[in-house]
Structure 1
Amino acid sequence: MSDRKNKEKEKVMSVRDRMGLFQTNNTTAPLRPNSGVSHGKAKEALKINTPLPSPAEPIMREYLNPHHFETFFKTLSSMKDEGFLLDITMSLGSDAYKIHYLVLAAVSPSVRRWFKSGGLDHTFSETVEPAAMFLDDKMTQLGIKAVVDFAYTGDVHVDVSDSIVEVLEACSWLEVDRLSQACSWILDPPQEEKTYQHSSSRERQKTFRAIQDLWEKGIGCDVRVQSDGQSFKAHRVALAAGGDFFRAMFSSGMKESLETTVHLPCLSSPVLSSLLRFIYSGAVLLSWGNVFEITEAALLYQVGGLLQLCLDFLQIEINEEYCLDCMALAEAYDLVELKDFVEQYILSNFEQVASVPKFQDLTEVQLVYFLDKDSLCVTSEVEVFKIVLLWVEEDITCRLEWVEDLMKRVRFPLMCPKELKEVQRAEIMRTNQGCKELLNRAIASLRPKPGAKPVTCKPRTPNQVLVLIGGDHLNNDFSRRLPSNRLWFAHKFFNGVGLIKHIDWRPLSTIPDIPRFRHAVAVLNNQLYIFGGSWYYGERDILKSVVRYHPSHDSWEHLPDMNESRNYFAVVCVDGAMYAMGGNVDNKRILDSVECYTPGDNTWRFVHPLHMALYSHATAVWDGEIYISGGYDSNNISLKSVSRYHPLQGCTPLSPMCNDRGGHVMEAIGSCLYVAGGLKQLCVGYSDQYLCESYDPLKDAWTPITNLPEAHVTPASTVLGGQIYILGGFCHKTYQDCQSIHRYEPQTDRWTNMGYMPQAYADMAACLLLVPTHLRQ
């Protein structure tokens, strides 16, 4: 092994060890959350294999479960009804209300003072009765019940004025100001508060924050949770409400249920601190330095809300460096949804994942599993060969026996003659007899002998679908235009020989809050980002907001706004960063600014501006560099200009297009860029641009290609299967929206009508996404 590889090995833990220890063997049942199976061995494996921190401190991000407090109080109410861990009795004559001190103290300052004065002795045993508060002559049964119900549910159960008076008396003595205020509004609403609406959910959230405050101040804590020699104060009732493990432990009757200190030796103290913080707040700080340990703690102690946040982190933040660790974790604990997501990520980014040193420690079985997948996404099959060759050469003494079996998974007939010659130069393909035969058959298939049976090879077809996002369209009676918030995906293409071209469209999701058109989109780690655009047709209706869609669990997330409102602009994604470029800010002012968003720090920042203000331009990424073509300037003149853009250096002019155009598309395939559609400038006004052309970045030269068969102004576009799809838009000559979809095949220089969109949309966007099976069905 070279010195460079040795140095790289020192930076990361052996993934062979990691994955071997994470995974269960054939004789051990997979470990499942909440299954009751001991997680001891998996814990040991996980603790050993937590990824080593990088020299730079991992970026910590707070993840919040907004529904945690609801689950928390639902469990508390159930515990009260079951009589579990009740530690205070409110006595009124012969009646008694047994409840949890923590819940009542969260709404009543007088109860907190009573505790501090020695009213409550937290000594737990099976025989000791809860401490009593004697409330004779201070309030009524109805008042006590109203306070207790409010503390646990946030509800106000008051029907008549006489009842309100009794509840107000109880609130006054116990100082339950929030309930008192709600009753006062019901009894005598002020003029300005006629529209007051009580929210029990909001009141539960306030009580939950009060419980968190009691914990942070150490008030009423009755147990210490200890790990690594460090202990943390907590409330038994809160732990029981927050996790199934603690609830079972405190109800088991074993000695741990009665002790004032609980030892959790399986956890490190930072992880225990995070677990407690989540139970009391519903939030956790996660990074690649702690997420694996915290995930396992959530599984081990059955804290479902925390587990979901960890799974969200793993899917949102997944990258080439850690995806194999995520796969190992998913397999070790039989996390099916995570496993499916990570597998799709690896298949979609196979070349990038294979470039990470950890990849070289995959087992032969694991590598074969990926190579056999039709959905393996690579730029060329020769890249698969190179990846296999590097894996074998990493430990050639031990791996030579696997080489023929692996090479059988490389689809040599998909390679061109030049690529096969490159394969032929590899020594192992000349010296290993099995590999040599595989290669010879592939070479022979290039010039088959008359009558010989042709060599067939199934192409790789990544499991991505074409998705339409937003846009606007005419309503059914053609009286006005309607913005759309719909996402559609192409479930199936019917385009065989002799068939009428047809696409089976299915609804995928809806954009939250408002519709969008004239927006821009980007995809990173199979997550869809939607930027800006317009939600209606006025100058003030142009947006700066950003949302992100997660196909894996069909959910949306609001992200920080861009610094400027933009429509008719472009967004490109390079090296994990997204650049919003130019655009129209208010139908009058055109932008030259460029701003950059990075998901890691979740922020926007301005970078080098464009060489001029532009809108309705097109962008594409080729060989890691950003290219910009055409568009309109501040005087609404359509342009031929083309430039290469760098975030620090700005624009470098390149050879202009043969034809001016704006409202067009540009896509990169292989060694070329292609532009199509849009409008061209006339002496007066504009006209549909049917002329198309391709650009060779290495030669800095443009070449005409076959004209578009139909006008597409402000269409959407994407690349699927090495072919360009251009969708919708409108025709300037007729002012009619276009519903058709055309596909361009670079190999034949031919446009084909592929069918129609579900609606004749203009100003929409398109992309490719991996859509989970349950959504596709």
Structure 2
Amino acid sequence: MACNANKDKQHMKRLKTGSETNKDTDKKSSLTKNYERQDYTCSVLNGMNDSRKQGKFTDIVLCVDGKEFPCHKVVLINGSDYFKCMFSSGMIESNKHRVTINGVEAVAMETILDYMYTGKISITSDRVQALLEVANLVLVFSLVDLCLSFMFDHIEASNCLGIWQILKSLNFSESCRRAKNYALEHFKLVTCQDEYLDLSVDDLCDFISDTALCVDREKTVYEAVMKWFRHDTDSRCKDLEKALELVTFELIDTEYLIDHVEKDVSTVNWELAMGIMDKMIINCDISERRKGNAVAIVGGLPGRGQGGFSPWRSSSDDKICYFDPENDSWTFLTHAMHFDIADDPVMFNNKIFVPYGRRLRTFDLDNQTWNDEDIPEKIESYFENHFVKWMIIQGILYIIVGEEDGFYPDDDESKTPFLRYDMTSKELTSLTPPAEGTVLSAMAVFRKRIYVFSRAYFRVPSNAVMQCYDCESNTWTDLRDIPTEVPMEDVNAVVFDRYIYLFQNASRLYVYDAMAEEWLPSIAGIEEHRQYINCGGAVCNCKLYIMGGESEDDGTYTDQMYCFDPTEDRWEVPGKLKQPLASPRCVTISKPPWCRDL
């Protein structure tokens, strides 16, 4: 019996030891797999949204503009800092089942609640102001950003002052300045809009007193003030003097003062008119000029003689100068490292970016220095060896690489490299290329979209190709409906307000409305300039400047300059280049205060 008892104990011990061993083995061999339902969070929110609309399982009612909105506190708290503070900081409303929100339209609140529950929203131009005001009130910052993005995606001369006033009333200082800068840059066109005529005297003075106002003549400011005054003479007589005090009459020539200012103002206020004349005569010291813009020439092909193919040079060839529309004169800016610049310059952060060989050089207008920009070797090789079109949008460098004769740097000739380089993070990304079988001709940037104009050598029957790249969605759109008269070889493209102007020379302008996505009737220009190709151009102070070029008849270069004013539908001859140039590389700059006249 004792022997059997001992055997039973040993057996039980083995069973116990084996059991523990199996447990350890189970732990070591346990399998784990993680799961995540991508649509789970969305389905929960959708369910809560359904119950909200049915008035079920909610724990708070918002009373807005006579309408009740049953909601869930947890959604409101996580979607809005306003409600988070209300319900979690011991405020009286935190213990209430019903809360009244004053000063808000029911339609706007319903839209915002839909956004907080779904993350989806449809913003329209007629509702964006009300939506922005409510989103700002209840501190839904992501929606505030969407409203601001919508406004600036649709800003133009006809609405920029309204946007500026809205943002100023909401104390959005940075966005307010951005909207005002747009209005200042498009001043002459803005003064033709109803929004300008309806400005209060305080807003008018705030607007025209800004030193960043872009005008080429001070009389333009005077004429704008008088246009505003004549819109409502009865109520604005008392305000005219206040507005005219901001016009620098010392910059207006005497003949114009006598013929216009004295005559216009004296019919309203004789003493004011005489005071203006006295001020002009006595005060010859102009303490502060408007900054204004100018057109700089930072490269080109200089000095080809009659029928010759060898450019001559002088000691002045390396000078970079700008044309000042205020006095129709050229002013020295800086010395260039080389004047035969092959690619167009770009302005960004008050710096001129210029590709030169393998380098991307910058001239800082604030401290008057040249520097090398750090860019990847791949971009350097493209700048050096290939025909490129490039631009900088919000600190991102975009570059499309090709050849004027249709040959590309890749083995597959049908592919055009398209690169994105973040100048802050130094990250280089290859993007979806444009359509195959095209030769680059011109490029323009409107909002966050890049318009590429090309000529096709594979496509039949059309040889004109227009494509649009959306920087946010990384997608291309092929815009086929191009008038047959629009040239796609040796063409330039510039942007003014909502319009893209294409031109080979000053003989005709081709206009594309980028917001309406349609071509407008072309604009006739200077017929004698038709023989020239390889011209340059830029928009400055609400005018389009076209200059230089190479004659197709005898190969000579020209120093001619022409200027088109879209607000008056008028061509002008502002002056001449310092020397004949083909392919002048033009860029619009803010006039530096330290420059000197030539």
Instruction: Summarize the Cα distance change of 1:247–1:532 in structure 2 as closer, same or farther, 3 Å threshold.
Output: same
Match for 2:503: what amino acid? Answer: I
CA distance in 2, matches of 1:410, 1:327: 22
Q: Is 2:124 aligned against 1:315?
A: no
Contact 1:245 1:302 in 2 (8 A): yes
2:204 maps to which of 357, 367, 380:
367
Q: Give a deviation string over 1:523-548, Cα, whole Å, max 9, x none.
A: 9xxx8998873288333442689999
Q: Which runs of structure 2 are paired with 1:441-452 in the superposition (5 Å)?
A: 441=278
CA distance in 1, matches of 2:527, 2:520: 22
Instruction: Summarize the Cα distance change of 1:606–1:589 in structure 2 as closer, same or farther, 3 Å threshold.
Output: closer
CA distance in 2, matches of 1:328, 1:695: 36
Contact 2:60 2:98 in 1 (8 A): yes
CA distance in 1, matches of 2:68, 2:421: 41
Contact 1:582 1:593 in 2 (8 A): yes
Instruction: Summarize the Cα distance change of 1:208–1:180 in structure 2 as closer, same or farther, 3 Å threshold.
Output: closer
Aligned to 2:536: 665
Q: Is 2:401 aligned against 1:534?
A: yes
Aligned to 1:460: 290
Match for 2:105: what amino acid? Answer: S
Q: Is 2:559 aligned against 1:692?
A: yes
Match for 1:214: what amino acid? Answer: G
Q: Is 2:503 aligned against 1:628?
A: yes
2:47 maps to which of 214, 220, 232:
214
CA distance in 1, matches of 2:212, 2:414: 44
Aligned to 1:611: 485
Q: Is 2:136 aligned against 1:299?
A: yes
Aligned to 1:404: 241
Q: Is 2:527 aligned against 1:655?
A: yes
Contact 1:492 1:504 in 2 (8 A): no
CA distance in 2, matches of 1:258, 1:401: 54
Q: Is 2:551 aligned against 1:676?
A: no
| Structure 2 gap ranges (5+) | 1-24, 295-345, 403-407, 425-429, 512-518, 565-569
1:335 maps to which of 172, 175, 179:
172
Instruction: Summarize the Cα distance change of 1:701–1:722 in structure 2 as closer, same or farther, 3 Å threshold.
Output: same
Instruction: Summarize the Cα distance change of 1:587–1:719 in structure 2 as closer, same or farther, 3 Å threshold.
Output: farther
Aligned to 1:519: 389
- The alignment-based identity, stated in percent, is 18
CA distance in 2, matches of 1:164, 1:320: 71
Aligned to 1:38: none
Q: How far is the alpha carbon of 1:410 from its aligned partner? A: 0.9
Q: How far is the alpha carbon of 1:286 from its aligned partner? A: 1.9
Instruction: Summarize the Cα distance change of 1:660–1:217 in structure 2 as closer, same or farther, 3 Å threshold.
Output: same
Match for 1:718: what amino acid? Answer: V
Match for 2:510: what amino acid? Answer: Y
Q: How far is the alpha carbon of 1:240 from its aligned partner? A: 1.5
Aligned to 1:569: 441
Contact 1:225 1:264 in 2 (8 A): no
Q: How far is the alpha carbon of 1:472 from its aligned partner? A: 5.3
Instruction: Summarize the Cα distance change of 1:302–1:719 in structure 2 as closer, same or farther, 3 Å threshold.
Output: closer
Q: Give a deviation string over 1:153-190, Cα, whole Å, max 9, x none.
A: xxxxxxx994994866xxxxxxxxxx347xxxxxxxxx
Instruction: Summarize the Cα distance change of 1:668–1:275 in structure 2 as closer, same or farther, 3 Å threshold.
Output: closer
Q: Is 2:510 aligned against 1:645?
A: yes
1:717 maps to which of 567, 586, 591:
586
Q: How far is the alpha carbon of 1:385 from its aligned partner? A: 1.1
CA distance in 1, matches of 2:74, 2:97: 13
CA distance in 2, matches of 1:504, 1:721: 17
Q: Give a deviation string over 1:258-291, Cα, whole Å, max 9, x none.
A: 5555554543333223222332344432223222
2:464 maps to which of 582, 592, 607:
592
Aligned to 1:145: none
Instruction: Summarize the Cα distance change of 1:363–1:609 in structure 2 as closer, same or farther, 3 Å threshold.
Output: closer
Q: Give a deviation string over 1:29-52, Cα, whole Å, max 9, x none.
A: xxxxxxxxxxxxxxxxxxxxxxxx
TM-score normalised by structure 2 residue count: 0.61
Q: Give a deviation string over 1:411-442, Cα, whole Å, max 9, x none.
A: 12222456435524643236634432344347
Instruction: Summarize the Cα distance change of 1:401–1:649 in structure 2 as closer, same or farther, 3 Å threshold.
Output: closer
Instruction: Summarize the Cα distance change of 1:463–1:606 in structure 2 as closer, same or farther, 3 Å threshold.
Output: same
CA distance in 2, matches of 1:490, 1:316: 29
Contact 2:389 2:443 in 1 (8 A): no
Contact 1:351 1:378 in 2 (8 A): yes
Aligned to 2:365: 491
The 3-state SS of whatever aligns with 2:168 is helix
Contact 1:591 1:613 in 2 (8 A): no
Contact 1:621 1:668 in 2 (8 A): yes
Instruction: Summarize the Cα distance change of 1:305–1:369 in structure 2 as closer, same or farther, 3 Å threshold.
Output: same
The 3-state SS of whatever aligns with 1:693 is strand
| Structure 1 gap ranges (5+) | 1-159, 169-178, 182-202, 446-452, 476-481, 495-502, 552-557, 631-640, 724-742, 753-777
Match for 1:717: what amino acid? Answer: C
Q: How far is the alpha carbon of 1:653 from its aligned partner? A: 9.3
Q: Give a deviation string over 1:340-370, Cα, whole Å, max 9, x none.
A: 2233233223333333333344333332233
CA distance in 1, matches of 2:209, 2:79: 43
Q: How far is the alpha carbon of 1:458 from its aligned partner? A: 3.7
Instruction: Summarize the Cα distance change of 1:331–1:386 in structure 2 as closer, same or farther, 3 Å threshold.
Output: same
The 3-state SS of whatever aligns with 1:692 is strand
Contact 1:532 1:566 in 2 (8 A): no
The 3-state SS of whatever aligns with 1:460 is coil
Q: Give a deviation string over 1:42-85, Cα, whole Å, max 9, x none.
A: xxxxxxxxxxxxxxxxxxxxxxxxxxxxxxxxxxxxxxxxxxxx
Instruction: Summarize the Cα distance change of 1:696–1:343 in structure 2 as closer, same or farther, 3 Å threshold.
Output: closer
The 3-state SS of whatever aligns with 1:608 is coil
Q: Give a deviation string over 1:444-464, Cα, whole Å, max 9, x none.
A: 58xxxxxxx845364311489
The 3-state SS of whatever aligns with 1:569 is strand
Contact 2:293 2:591 in 1 (8 A): no
The 3-state SS of whatever aligns with 1:274 is helix
CA distance in 1, matches of 2:520, 2:167: 40
Contact 2:444 2:450 in 1 (8 A): yes
CA distance in 2, matches of 1:522, 1:375: 22
Aligned to 2:314: none
Contact 1:665 1:717 in 2 (8 A): yes
Instruction: Summarize the Cα distance change of 1:674–1:421 in structure 2 as closer, same or farther, 3 Å threshold.
Output: farther
Match for 2:364: what amino acid? Answer: A
Instruction: Summarize the Cα distance change of 1:522–1:413 in structure 2 as closer, same or farther, 3 Å threshold.
Output: farther
CA distance in 1, matches of 2:168, 2:539: 37
Aligned to 1:767: none
Match for 2:586: what amino acid? Answer: S
CA distance in 2, matches of 1:346, 1:675: 26
Aligned to 1:240: 77
Instruction: Summarize the Cα distance change of 1:324–1:645 in structure 2 as closer, same or farther, 3 Å threshold.
Output: closer
Q: How far is the alpha carbon of 1:629 from its aligned partner? A: 1.9
Match for 1:628: what amino acid? Answer: F
Instruction: Summarize the Cα distance change of 1:296–1:537 in structure 2 as closer, same or farther, 3 Å threshold.
Output: same
The 3-state SS of whatever aligns with 1:694 is strand
CA distance in 2, matches of 1:598, 1:435: 53
1:707 maps to which of 564, 579, 590:
579
CA distance in 2, matches of 1:548, 1:395: 50
Q: Which runs of structure 2 are paired with 1:766-777 in the superposition (5 Å)?
A: none
